[in-house]
Amino acid sequence: MFSWLGKQGGGREHGGGGDVVRTVTGGLRDLYLRKLLPLEEHYRFHDFHSPALEEADFENKPMVLLVGQYSTGKTTFIRYLLEQDFPGMRIGPEPTTDSFIAVMYGESEGSVPGNALVVDPKKPFRKLSRFGNAFLNRFMCSQLPNQVLKSISIIDSPGILSGEKQRISRGYDFCQVLQWFAERVDRIILLFDAHKLDISDEFSEAIKSFRGQDDKIRVVLNKADQVDTQQLMRVYGALMWSLGKVIDTPEVLRVYIGSFWAHPLRNTENRRLFEAEAQDLFMDIQSLPQKAAVRKLNDLIKRARLAKVHAYIISYLKKEMPSVFGKENKKKELISRLPEIYLQLQREYHISAGDFPEVKKMQEQLETCDFTKFHSLKPKLIEAVDNMLANKIASLMSLIRQEESNMPTEMVHGGAFDGTMAGPFGHGYGEGAKEGADEEEWVVAKDKPAYDEIFYTLSPINGKISGISAKKEMVTSKLPNSVLGKIWKLADCDGDGMLDDEEFALAKHLIKIKLDGYELPGTLPSHLMPPSHRKPLQTAE
């Protein structure tokens, strides 16, 4: 175990998966306290960007933040995942959720108001107190004994309206609160209604507040069963166009299409699509506990890079200030020249432009600062962070990878997640290569008469056709040779380089599976094995 993990992180490396996570968490916390926090405090990083991290920030479960305009189904989505109501839940077509609700695990059902929540050292919300009573009166924690919440916590946000009045009457900076959560959560889910794709000004500002957290964002196009296939294609295109104007990233966001509530589908044309999309979304959420340590490590690296850049900016402003006269005029000049200063620092310290904070926001914050109280550059503080990024982080990353391979996969269980894992309603059950898995009769038999007609036109010798003859028929499927080669390998059960009538029928069945859009199995499942090639069951004498 690494000596730099410190007392809080050491001594647990031989335990189970939870001990491993605590070891990594201890290492991250120790690195932050010893290497990064001194730099942040020296250059007033917390006044400009983000409050100092606390122990709960390192220890908390993965969190999922839901954001969307009113009546897009955010609260219903949580109800769908948990499969039970939670304290404070209100659902309706009108704007119902007017508060931030942290839905978390608790031994007994109940709620905790915001003012009490931000003084609880075990919860990662203490720094939210800076947003004042107007926000805290609209913030609560909903606790309940639910299996899903043993692995993740979910943050429900107020529905966003399009009016200016709502923005003014909130009494707190809504986008600043969202940004605070975005920096700490593992996944941000933007929900859209298939009937309401317009992105209001406040929703646009909310999305822009997630700048730098693009890797965490997923999009859900909800209530998609209320439109037919043609309309759905148009809605999807319109959504991507709208998002492209708001989210400034070259990558296309992952959009999950479906109807996320426990009611019958109004339009069943796209049932299979919805099932596949729901399964993909569930898998993404289920993987969060396993990736939690990597996410915290990644967020710490992003924070360290920003803290370094901030130190260079502040120390440069300090260096440029006159010692006696003309301080105010020089301050105004430096603020107006901030874009040029950014470029100068980029060249001098070889820093990427993407690591710098937003110019306009930084200029507004500098207006109220006394530049003479800033500190000059301390190379030792920068070197400590550079050493952390170059050596300590890399060592911790290798520990995470090593332990991930040794420990069982940690997944989210309970609620809607259990309904998609096993049984006849599991995703893909009875489809593709899995078709016929629970039937006594060989699934290929129903189409074998048609396949036999083709087989006997290929002039079999001693009941078998050669590879050349089989190839002439198989290439008519227009599948690439790499796929046909795999089908041949699966169908030639006895490996003699020829196909009998059952093996040929199997090959045609596998071609059909691939043409229907399903994946081929890696090895031939027992239920697809031709009857004449199955090994007889051994009976006791």
How does DSSP classify residue 438? T
In a domain, 338, yes or no: yes
- 256 and 271 inside one domain: yes
- 282 and 401 inside one domain: no
- Exposure b/e, 294-326, CB count within 10 A at least 16 = b: ebbbebbeebbbbbbbbbbbbbbbbeeeeeeee
Q: What per-residue confidence (pLDDT) applies to 420?
A: 57
In a domain, 162, yes or no: yes
pLDDT digits (tens, 9 = 90+) for 342-391: 999 999 999 999 899 999 999 999 999 999 999 999 999 999 999 999 98
Coarse DSSP helix, strand, coil percentages of the chain, rounded to the nearest 5 percent:
55, 10, 35
Q: What per-residue confidence (pLDDT) applies to 425?
A: 59
Q: What is the CATH number of the domain that holds 224?
A: 3.40.50.300
H-helix or E-strand spanning residue 55:
helix 55-59
- 442 and 341 inside one domain: no
- 345 and 283 inside one domain: no
Q: pLDDT-based confidence at 230, cuts 50/70/90?
A: very high
Return the higher-pLDDT residue of 154 and 431. Answer: 154
The mean pLDDT value for 248-262 works out to 84
Distance CA 206, CA 191 (A): 13
Distance CA 83, CA 324 (A): 67
User: Residue 65 is encoded by which pair of tokens?
Assistant: 């933040």
- 81 and 155 inside one domain: yes
The mean pLDDT value for 173-186 works out to 92
Give the list of residues 6+ apart from residue 15 with CB closer than 8 angstroms, or none: none
Say yes or no to pLDDT of 151 above 70: yes
Amino acid at position 160, single letter: I
Q: Which of 269, 287, 305 is the last residue of a domain?
A: 287
Say yes or no to pLDDT of 248 above 70: yes
Q: What is the CATH number of the domain that holds 501?
A: 1.10.238.10
**End-to-end Cα separation, the chain, in angstroms:** 57
Q: Which of 241, 260, 287 is the last residue of a domain?
A: 287
| Structural domains of the chain, count | 3
Tell me the residue length of the chain: 541
Q: List alpha helices for 287-320, DSSP H.
A: 288-320
Q: Helix, strand or coil for residue 128?
A: helix
pLDDT digits (tens, 9 = 90+) for 89-128: 876 655 555 789 999 999 999 999 999 999 998 899 999 9
- 128 and 208 inside one domain: yes
The lowest-confidence range among 337-341, 503-507, 534-538 is 534-538
Give the list of residues 6+ apart from residue 264 with CB closer than 8 angstroms, or none: none
Return the higher-pLDDT residue of 169 and 173. Answer: 173
Distance CA 207, CA 186 (A): 16
Distance CA 125, CA 59 (A): 12
Distance CA 503, CA 469 (A): 13
What is the C-alpha radius of gyration for the chain, rounded to an integer number of angstroms? 29
Using CB atoms within 10 Å of the CB of residue 440, give its burial: 0 to 12 exposed, 13 to 18 middle, 19+ buried.
exposed
Distance CA 378, CA 388 (A): 16
Which single residue is written with the structure tokens 């004994």? 145
Distance CA 472, CA 322 (A): 86
The mean pLDDT value for 160-186 works out to 79
Amino acid at position 122, single letter: K
Q: What is the CATH number of the domain that holds 338?
A: 1.10.268.20
Give the list of residues 6+ apart from residue 7 with CB closer than 8 angstroms, or none: none
- 307 and 223 inside one domain: no
Angle between helices 201-208 and 229-246 in degrees, nearest 10: 60
Distance CA 202, CA 104 (A): 27
Distance CA 317, CA 319 (A): 5
Q: pLDDT-based confidence at 212, cuts 50/70/90?
A: confident
- 306 and 267 inside one domain: no
- 312 and 394 inside one domain: yes
Return the higher-pLDDT residue of 423 and 263. Answer: 263
In a domain, 199, yes or no: yes
The mean pLDDT value for 273-285 works out to 91
Q: What is the chain's mean pLDDT, rounded?
A: 86
In a domain, 414, yes or no: no
H-helix or E-strand spanning residue 28:
helix 17-31
In a domain, 138, yes or no: yes
In a domain, 235, yes or no: yes
Return the higher-pLDDT residue of 318 and 323. Answer: 318
Residue 30 backbone dihedrals phi, psi, to 5 degrees:
-65, -40
Return the higher-pLDDT residue of 480 and 200. Answer: 480
Say yes or no to pLDDT of 193 above 50: yes
Say yes or no to pLDDT of 3 above 60: no
In a domain, 17, yes or no: no
What is the residue range of 368's domain?
A: 24-53+294-406
Distance CA 517, CA 513 (A): 7
Q: What is the dihedral of CA 55, 58, 64, 69, to 10 degrees?
A: 50
Q: Helix, strand or coil for residue 529?
A: coil
- 471 and 337 inside one domain: no
- 223 and 86 inside one domain: yes
Distance CA 321, CA 389 (A): 31
* Complete DSSP assignment for 135-160: HHTTEEEEEE--SGGGT-EEEE-PPB
Distance CA 510, CA 268 (A): 28
Q: Answer positive or negative: Cα dihedral of 433, 436, 441, 446.
A: negative
Give the list of residues 6+ apart from residue 128 with CB closer than 8 angstroms, or none: 114, 117, 118, 135, 136, 139, 177, 180
Q: What per-residue confidence (pLDDT) applies to 431?
A: 82
Distance CA 391, CA 396 (A): 9
In a domain, 178, yes or no: yes
Q: Which of 236, 252, 287 is the last residue of a domain?
A: 287
Say yes or no to pLDDT of 207 above 80: yes
Distance CA 114, CA 125 (A): 9
Using CB atoms within 10 Å of the CB of residue 77, give its burial: 0 to 12 exposed, 13 to 18 middle, 19+ buried.
buried
- 230 and 81 inside one domain: yes
